[in-house]
Structure 1
Amino acid sequence: MHTVAVLALPRVVPFDLATPVEVFGRARLPGGGPGYRVLVCAEEPETDAGSFALRAPWGLAELGSADTVVVPGTDGPHPAPTPAVLAALRAAAARGTRIASICSGAFVLADAGLLDGLRATTHWAAAGRLAADHPAVTVDPDVLYVDNGQILTSAGAAAGLDLCLHMVRRDHGSAVAAEAARLSVVPLEREGGQAQFIPLDHDPAPGGAALEPLLGWLRQNLDRDLTLDGIAARAGVSTRTLIRRFREQTGTTPLQWLHVARIRRAQHLLETTPHPVERIGAQVGFGSATAFRDRFKRSTGMSPRTYRSTVRPRLRHPSEAPGRERSE
């Protein structure tokens, strides 16, 4: 069973700590069995969590045998992680363990050198400090989470839910992740990023949900050859106004939103249908199978066929011979 070790540091944020415990702890496989074994670990048996004392059943040694390590945020100001904590994280990373941070937990990963040369995020209010303290890290303050494959980071609070559900989806597919999302009473996917939550010097466009009819239309027409001009014409606005409204209400651009929506739909089709990869690429609006494979791999870190075999190993179309895997 996949083991998730949640590292409780001094002054850990209770919400950030509870998020991976609840999401992974409640995830159930199609047969009803647990998807994960969750361990709360700390350097010392009792940890000061600010408003309460936390007694962790496991220590740093468990990080060495975990499949995933999650580092929740801490409430600052707080001391830097101890050498033992940093060494345990570096050793886990060297073994190929997946390591994720929630909110200011990104500072711990950065202190360990695990974010050097990578794109990362944290709470928007702390993004500037992370970038200043760790110039080798490319800090993106606009997104909810960043998945670099082995190393993942998320923004604050509820973005930790997005990240944990994303990892469940990576591990067990959309159906398991969707059920975990329902238990948490949150959507499996949220469009946009934390840019939509950052205070602005000007008022956003009237009606925060003004784009929803257009987004719904786009979801229903992902197979079409959609262009920026065409989307703007559908919305009845100029392309400049369209881009501005997307930034204000989703935190991203129209075409970036469209790319994400297409890949999400492709993941669903790969998991739930036996359609060949080429057909699925066309169904979600890619002009060629090569373009679809390239975009899918950049977005998920694996080819469409590998993704399908990972989340639905028994679902294979007769025309998809294993020997073709190398072409993706």
Structure 2
Amino acid sequence: MHSVAVLAFDGISPFHLSIPGLVFGRIGTSTAASAPYRVHTCAETPGIVCTPGDFELYVRHGLDTLAAADTVVVPSWRPDLEPTPEVRDAVRTAHDRGARVVGLCLGAFAIASTGLADGREITTHWSAAARLSAAFPAVRVRADRLWTDLGDLVTSAGVAAALDCCLHLVRSDHGSRMATELARTLVLAPYRGGSQAQYIPVAVPDDTDDDPIEHAMVWARGHLSEPIDLDGWARTALMSRRTFTRRFRERTGSSPQQWLLQQRVDRARLLLESTDDTMDRVAADAGLGTAVNLRHHFHRTLGLSPAAHRAAFKNN
């Protein structure tokens, strides 16, 4: 059972605090009993923790909870609040022991204060990126990503991106099938890549029946194993290639080709986890053509080979 420690503090947003418990512990869902994570909320001083709302929270556990955690989550933070030496030491000690450290949204401020991100790249909410960069010049701050996963250190943008990031960690730990089923339970998009833009310049139409880009995305997911040329794909949306490319980027924050490649890599990941098909068959069914292409794109996107990914999930 993977242990997750979630750090609460005075002024914590109840929504941000609930995200790790909802995604990792499935708290409040019908599948909570089968959650593969054990989630504990802790605070520097156990007891009453204030919130911005008209209610308070009672936290039973202290910082010693971090000592046994496999993952430590800081769900947002107050940029004007300097973490105490005790908090910084507890997070650093957990990291040195091998725990994965996760900062959601403004939690990047607390993570940066520990020095764990010095010389490295982290993500936070776009509106706070300049302030974070000025406060911690040794850190490379990304305001154009949903999350950054360095393995031992994971940071995300805010609100919905924090949900996406936690789902990404479930996918990394337990595979695409579990993450997709959990997303379905939570009524979330099954996958948004970390490299996706934090915000979409043009609002999504209220009625997706009137959204030709959404129709084109659904069509592409149903034809991943087939060659998809941009001109033909644009015609499914009744648009020219140029208009389709522009509207797609406005709708998703990425180019059609980038989005399509990510869908194919994710399909390959699911096939590697759930079948014994050969690499050539997985590549063909995912629309990546050959095993050589599969290995290239899989390693470039996920940082490991298809064979290593399959072996990791067979050993789980």
> Shared topology, TM-score over 0.5?
yes
Identity %: 45
The structural deviation recorded for 1:303 is 2.2
1:23 counterpart = 2:29: no
CA shift digits 1:229-258 (9 cap, x unpaired):
554466554554333212210011222211
Local SS of the residue matching 1:267: helix
Structure 1 residue aligned with 2:59: 56
| 1:64-121: CA deviation from partner (whole Å, max 9, x where unpaired) | 22111111013x4531111121122222222221111111111111222222333332
Task: State the Cα distance separating 1:8 from its structure 2 match.
Answer: 0.9
Q: Distance in 2 between matches of 1:312 and 1:84?
A: 40
| Offset from partner CA, 1:298-319 (integer Å, 9 cap, x none) | 32233222222333448xxxxx
Farther off after superposition, 220-229 or 147-156: 220-229
Structure-2 separation of matches of 1:111 and 1:291: 41
TM-score, with normalisation over the residues of structure 1?
Answer: 0.82
In the alignment, what sits opposite 1:41?
42
Q: What does the per-residue CA deviation read over 1:174-199, in whole Å, with 9 as the maximum and x for residues that have no partner? A: 33223322332323224754221xxx
Determine if contact 1:149/1:301 at 8 Å carries over to the other structure.
Answer: no
Most deviating of 91-100 and 282-291: 282-291
Contact in 2 for aligned 1:25/1:34 (Cα 8 Å): yes
**Distance (Å, rounded) in 1 between the aligned partners of 2:82 and 2:118:** 17
* Aligned counterpart in structure 2 of residue 132 of structure 1, from 111, 131, 134: 134
What displacement does 1:34 show? 3.5
CA 1:253–1:138: 2 relative to 1, 3 Å: farther
Partner of 1:97: 99
| Alpha-carbon separation, structure 1, partners of 2:142 and 2:249 | 15
Q: What is the Cα-based RMSD across aligned positions, in Å?
A: 2.7
**Is residue 285 from structure 1 mapped to residue 287 from structure 2 by the alignment?**
yes
Amino acid corresponding to residue 280 of structure 1 in structure 2: V
- Aligned runs of 1:117-266 on 2, under 5 Å? 117-190=119-192, 192-196=196-200, 200=201, 209-228=211-230, 231-232=233-234, 235=237, 237-266=239-268
Describe the shift of the 1:215–1:302 C-alpha distance in structure 2 as closer, same or farther (beyond 3 A): same
Structure 1: runs of 5 or more not aligned: 315-328
TM-score (norm 2): 0.85
Distance (Å, rounded) in 2 between the aligned partners of 1:294 and 1:119: 24
Q: State the shift of 1:156 in Å.
A: 0.9
- Taking the aligned partners of 1:278 and 1:80, their CA distance within structure 2 comes to 53
Structure 1 range deviating more: 263-272 or 299-308: 299-308
Give the secondary-structure state (helix, strand or coil) at the position aligned to 1:195: coil
Cα gap change, 1:301 to 1:66, in 2 (>3 Å): farther
1:225 and 1:137, CA in 2 relative to 1: closer, same or farther beyond 3 A?
Answer: farther
Equivalent position SS for 1:38: strand
Seen in structure 2, the aligned counterparts of structure 1 residues 215 and 148 have a Cα distance that, compared at 3 Å, is same
1:297 Cα deviation from its structure 2 partner: 2.5
Q: Is residue 67 of structure 1 aligned with residue 70 of structure 2?
A: yes
Q: Counterparts of 1:142 and 1:9 in 2: how far apart (Å)? A: 27
How far apart are the structure 1 equivalents of 2:132 and 2:24? 28
Q: 1:235 to 1:157 in 2, by over 3 A?
A: same
Between 1:226-235 and 1:297-306, the stretch displaced more is: 226-235
Per-residue deviation, 1:148: 1.9
Counterpart CA distance in 2 for 1:140 and 1:226 is 32
